[in-house]
C-alpha cells in the first residue's frame, strides 16, 4: 500500500511538471501535448501532435522516477524492443521512442475510438455480427503474435483499441514476452483474475484460454464476465472449477463455441485455427465494416445484395464516376422495387417522425384518466369508411440510411400489409358464420394499451408479457421481463440492448417512463383477449412503427408487419400477422374470445359480415397512413 501511495503521489507530481510542448532531443521534433487518453499502473497515455507535420499520435509517458524506484528500466527496454518489431494491421503500430530527464515517451498509432472496453461500457452488450467482426480481427493479430513466438499476457477488452475506421488492434505490450520453451508455463501467467481461465497452473501459453479470447467473447455477447461474483475468493473458485452459465438468448453456434473453449482440460479446447473455422464464424453473417455509430448504439446490418452490386457496376460503366452519384439516386429507387419483389412483403420497415414533438422531461405524472371517445352510432354494416383521423405517431426514421430513399422505407411495411389486406377483401366471400377450421399456433398481439401521448407517449403490453412505449421523441423502448432485458431503438434500424439492472445514464428517465407504463397497465387495465404466447417464442427487438387513432378505432403497426386494430365501441379487435410464411387473421369478439384463421381458409370459406366490415375499416386506416 505504501508503494502504491508513493506511485500515486509521483504520478500527481509528474503530471503537474508535464509540459505542453515536448521536444525529441535526438530529432528536434516538437510535439504538443493534448488530452489524456488513458492511464495504467506505470504511466499515462496522451494525444500528441507533431507541430511540423500535424500528425497525431498516442504517446505513453512513463516517468523516470517510477522507472528508477521500481527498477523497471529493463522492462521498458524490452517493451520498446518487442513492440518495435511488430508490423500487422491488427497490432497498434509503434512509431519510435525518446526520453528526456523527466520521462520516457513511447510514440504509437492513435486509435481515436478508444477500446472495446469503452464501447462495451456504452453499449453493455454487442450483437453477434459485431462480435464476429471484432474477434476475427483479434484472432488474426494473435495468430501473428504466436508466429513471432510472443505471448501478450494481458489480453482484455481494454487492450483492444479501435481506430477511426473501426479497425480493432491489439495494444499495450508492457507485459508481453518472447516464449522460452525452457521456462515453466506459470511464468507466463499475468493479467487480471477475471480474465484468466481454469486449470491456471498447467495451461499452455498458446492455448485459446490464455489468449483471453474466451472471456472476451463471453463478455461482449452478455455484458459481463462468466465468473462475476461478489468476492475474489468465490471468483477464483468458479475459475478453478469452471463454473459458469450461458444465457438462453445466445445463439446455439455461439453457445457451442463458448462451451468448447471453457472445457476443463486444455487438451479439449480448440486450437486457434479450429476456432477460426468454427460454425459461429463461417456460417453467421460478418459485416465487412462497421459504422462509428456502433460505438454507442447497435448497428443495422444489410447483407450484400448481388443485384445492388450489378446495378452499381453498370451505372459506373454507363455514366462514369463523375455522374455516378446523380444516377445512383435513380438506381436506388429501382433497386428498392426489385429487392421488394425478391424478398417479399414485410421485409423492410418504415417510419415517420413528427419533429415538432419533444418528449417531456419533468417528473412522472399520476396515472392518466381513461379517455372515452365518441364513436359513430352507425351499424356495423353502415360504417363510414371515411376515416376521421384524431392522432398519429411514428418511430423516428433513420436519416443516415444511404441504401433507400426515406419515403420508400417509410411506406414499405404499411404498403405491404395494405396490399395483403386489399387482396383478401377483393376475393373474400360473405358467409353466415366464420370458418370452423381454426389455426393453432402461438400469436403475438397487443393485450393492453394506453395513450399518454399528450405527455410521454403510447404504451402497450404484448401477449408474451413484454411491454413497450413509442415515446413522443420518436424513440422506442421495450422491456422483456423473462430475461430482464431492455431493447432501446433510437431510430429506425438502430437498437441497443442492456440489462434492466444496468441502465445507461442517458436512458434512466426513459426506463422510468417505461416502468411507469408497465405498472399502470398491470394494475389498471384488463387484458383484451384470451391468447398468449411463451416468452421464448417472442421477438426480442420488435418495435411499434406507427400508431394511429381515429374516431372509431386505434391502429398499431409493428416492425414485423403485425397489424392490430382495436374498435372502441364494442371492444372487438382484428389482428393480421405472419406465422412461418402464412398470413393469419385473428378476430377477438366483445366477450374477449378469439378465433384465428389462415387467410387461405378465409378466402376458401368466406367470413362473417362483422369481420369483413372491420377489415374494410382497417384497410381505410392503413391507406390513410400510407398517404
Final residue of a structural domain among 231, 254, 288: 288
Domain identity same for 98 and 185: no
Q: In this structure, what DSSP letter does residue 399 have?
A: T
In degrees and rounded to multiples of 5, residue 44 shows phi and psi of: -125, 155
Residue 60 forms part of a structural domain = yes
**Measured distance CA(155)–CA(214) in Å, rounded:** 10
Q: What are phi and psi of 407, to 5 degrees?
A: -65, -35
Question: What does the DSSP assignment read for 324-345?
Answer: HHHHHHHHHHHHHHHHHHHH-T
Examine the domain organization and report whether 69 and 148 are in the same domain: no
Known catalytic residues are 154
| Domain's final residue, options 263, 288, 313 | 288
**Domain membership of residue 13 as a residue range:** 2-109
Residues 6+ apart with CB under 8 A from 330: none
Q: Nearest CA to 548 among 558, 539, 538, 540?
A: 558
Claim to verify: residue 134 and residue 63 sit in the same structural domain: no
Judgement on whether residues 48 and 191 belong to the same structural domain of the protein: no
Cα angle at 54 between 52 and 59, to 5 degrees?
Answer: 100
Distance, in Å, from the CA atom of 619 to the CA atom of 614, rounded to the nearest integer, reads 9
Question: Does residue 103 sit in the same domain as residue 125?
Answer: no
Q: What is the pLDDT of residue 335?
A: 42
In a domain, 411, yes or no: no
Instruction: Quote the CA–CA distance of 498 and 408 in Å, as a whole number.
Output: 31
In a domain, residue 120? The reply is yes
Same domain, 14 and 121: no
Nearest to 294 by CA among 240, 220, 365: 220
- Is there a binding annotation on residue 243? no
Based on the fold, state whether residues 87 and 143 are members of the same structural domain. Answer: no
**Domains in the chain, number:** 3
Averaged pLDDT in 10-residue chunks for the chain of 627 residues: 47 58 93 90 90 95 87 88 95 95 94 92 87 93 92 89 96 87 49 44 39 64 71 72 75 86 78 86 87 84 50 52 50 44 35 31 36 33 62 77 45 84 83 66 86 90 92 93 89 86 90 90 77 63 89 92 92 89 88 86 82 91 85
Distance CA(537)–CA(249), nearest Å, equals 11
What DSSP character marks residue 520? H
- 348 in a structural domain: no
CATH of the domain at 18: 3.30.200.20
Residue 55 phi/psi, 5° resolution? Answer: -70, 145
pLDDT value, residue 154: 86
Q: Give a yes or no: residue 388 inside a domain.
A: no
Q: Are residues 433 and 582 in the same domain?
A: yes
Which of 53, 87, 109 is where one domain is finished?
109
Give CA–CA dist 401/405, Å, rounded: 8
Q: Is 85 inside any structural domain?
A: yes
Same domain, 241 and 103: no
Instruction: For residue 334, tell me if it sits in a domain.
Output: no
Whether residue 48 sits in one domain with residue 169: no
Q: Are residues 25 and 151 in the same domain?
A: no
In a domain, 375, yes or no: no
Residues 29 and 149 reside in one and the same domain: no
Yes or no: say if 450 and 459 are a contact pair by the CB < 8 Å rule. yes
CATH of the domain at 265: 1.10.510.10
| DSSP tag of 250 | S
pLDDT at site 336: 45
Residue 78 CB contacts under 8 Å (≥ 6 apart), including other chains: 177
At 411, is the secondary structure helix, strand, or coil?
Answer: helix
CATH number for position 518: 3.30.1120.30
Amino acid at each position: 500500500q505504501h508503494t502504491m501511495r508513493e506511485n500515486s503521489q509521483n504520478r500527481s507530481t509528474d503530471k503537474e511538471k508535464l509540459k505542453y510542448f515536448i521536444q525529441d532531443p535526438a530529432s528536434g521534433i516538437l510535439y504538443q501535448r493534448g488530452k489524456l487518453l488513458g492511464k495504467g499502473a506505470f504511466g499515462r497515455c496522451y494525444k500528441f501532435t507533431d507541430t511540423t507535420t500535424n500528425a497525431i499520435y498516442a504517446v505513453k509517458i512513463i516517468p523516470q522516477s517510477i522507472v528508477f524506484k521500481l527498477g523497471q528500466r529493463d522492462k521498458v527496454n524490452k517493451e520498446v524492443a518487442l513492440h518495435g518489431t511488430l508490423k500487422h494491421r491488427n497490432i497498434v503500430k509503434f512509431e519510435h521512442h525518446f526520453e528526456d530527464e523527466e520521462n520516457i515517451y513511447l510514440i504509437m498509432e492513435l486509435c481515436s475510438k478508444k477500446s472495446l472496453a469503452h464501447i462495451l461500457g456504452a453499449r453493455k452488450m454487442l450483437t453477434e455480427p459485431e462480435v464476429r467482426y471484432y474477434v476475427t480481427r483479434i484472432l488474426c493479430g494473435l495468430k501473428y503474435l504466436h508466429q513471432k513466438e510472443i505471448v501478450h499476457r494481458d489480453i482484455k477488452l481494454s487492450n483492444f483499441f479501435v481506430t477511426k475506421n473501426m479497425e480493432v488492434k491489439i495494444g499495450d505490450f508492457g507485459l508481453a514476452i518472447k516464449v522460452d520453451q525452457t521456462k515453466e508455463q506459470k511464468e507466463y501467467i499475468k493479467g487480471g483474475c477475471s480474465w484468466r481461465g481454469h486449470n491456471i497452473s498447467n495451461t499452455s501459453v498458446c492455448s485459446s484460454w490464455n489468449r483471453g479470447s474466451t472471456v472476451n467473447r463471453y463478455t461482449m455477447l452478455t455484458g459481463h464476465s462468466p465468473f462475476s461474483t461478489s468476492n475474489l475468493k468465490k471468483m477464483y473458485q468458479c475459475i478453478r472449477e469452471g463454473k459458469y452459465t450461458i444465457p438462453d438468448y445466445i445463439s446455439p453456434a455461439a453457445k457451442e463455441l463458448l462451451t468448447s473453449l471453457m472445457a476443463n482440460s486444455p487438451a479439449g479446447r480448440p486450437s486457434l485455427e479450429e476456432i477460426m473455422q468454427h460454425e459461429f464464424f463461417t456460417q453467421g453473417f460478418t459485416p465487412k465494416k462497421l459504422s462509428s455509430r456502433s460505438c454507442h448504439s447497435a448497428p443495422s446490418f444489410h447483407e450484400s445484395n448481388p443485384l445492388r452490386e450489378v446495378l452499381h457496376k453498370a451505372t459506373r460503366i454507363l455514366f462514369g464516376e463523375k455522374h455516378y452519384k446523380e444516377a445512383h439516386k435513380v438506381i436506388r429507387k429501382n433497386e428498392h422495387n426489385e429487392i421488394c419483389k425478391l424478398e417479399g412483403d414485410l421485409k423492410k420497415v418504415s417510419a415517420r417522425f413528427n419533429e415538432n414533438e419533444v418528449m417531456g422531461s419533468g417528473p412522472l405524472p399520476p396515472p392518466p384518466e381513461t379517455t372515452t371517445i365518441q364513436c359513430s352510432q352507425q351499424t356495423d354494416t353502415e360504417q363510414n369508411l371515411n376515416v376521421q383521423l384524431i392522432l398519429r405517431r411514428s418511430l423516428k426514421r433513420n436519416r443516415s440510411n444511404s441504401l433507400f430513399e426515406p419515403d420508400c422505407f417509410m411506406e414499405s411495411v404499411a404498403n405491404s400489409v395494405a396490399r395483403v389486406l386489399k387482396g383478401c377483401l377483393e376475393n373474400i366471400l360473405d358467409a353466415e358464420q366464420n370458418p370452423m377450421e381454426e389455426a393453432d399456433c402461438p400469436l403475438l398481439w397487443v393485450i393492453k394499451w394506453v395513450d399518454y401521448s399528450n405527455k410521454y407517449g403510447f404504451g402497450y403490453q404484448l401477449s408474451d408479457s413484454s411491454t413497450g412505449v413509442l415515446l413522443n421523441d420518436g424513440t422506442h423502448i421495450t422491456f422483456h421481463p423473462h430475461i430482464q432485458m431492455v431493447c432501446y431503438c433510437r431510430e429506425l434500424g438502430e437498437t441497443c440492448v442492456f440489462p434492466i439492472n444496468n441502465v445507461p445514464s442517458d436512458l434512466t428517465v426513459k426506463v422510468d417512463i417505461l416502468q411507469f407504463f408497465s405498472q399502470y397497465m398491470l394494475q389498471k387495465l384488463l387484458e383484451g383477449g384470451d391468447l398468449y404466447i411463451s416468452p421464448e417464442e417472442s421477438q426480442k427487438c420488435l418495435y411499434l412503427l406507427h400508431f394511429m387513432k381515429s374516431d372509431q378505432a386505434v391502429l398499431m403497426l409493428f416492425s414485423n408487419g403485425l397489424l392490430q386494430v382495436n374498435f372502441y365501441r364494442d371492444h372487438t379487435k382484428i389482428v393480421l400477422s405472419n406465422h412461418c410464411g402464412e398470413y393469419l387473421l385473428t378476430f377477438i369478439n366483445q366477450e374477449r374470445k378469439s378465433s384465428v384463421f389462415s387467410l387461405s381458409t378465409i378466402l376458401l370459406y368466406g367470413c362473417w359480415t362483422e369481420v369483413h366490415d372491420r377489415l374494410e375499416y382497417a384497410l381505410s386506416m392503413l391507406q390513410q397512413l400510407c398517404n
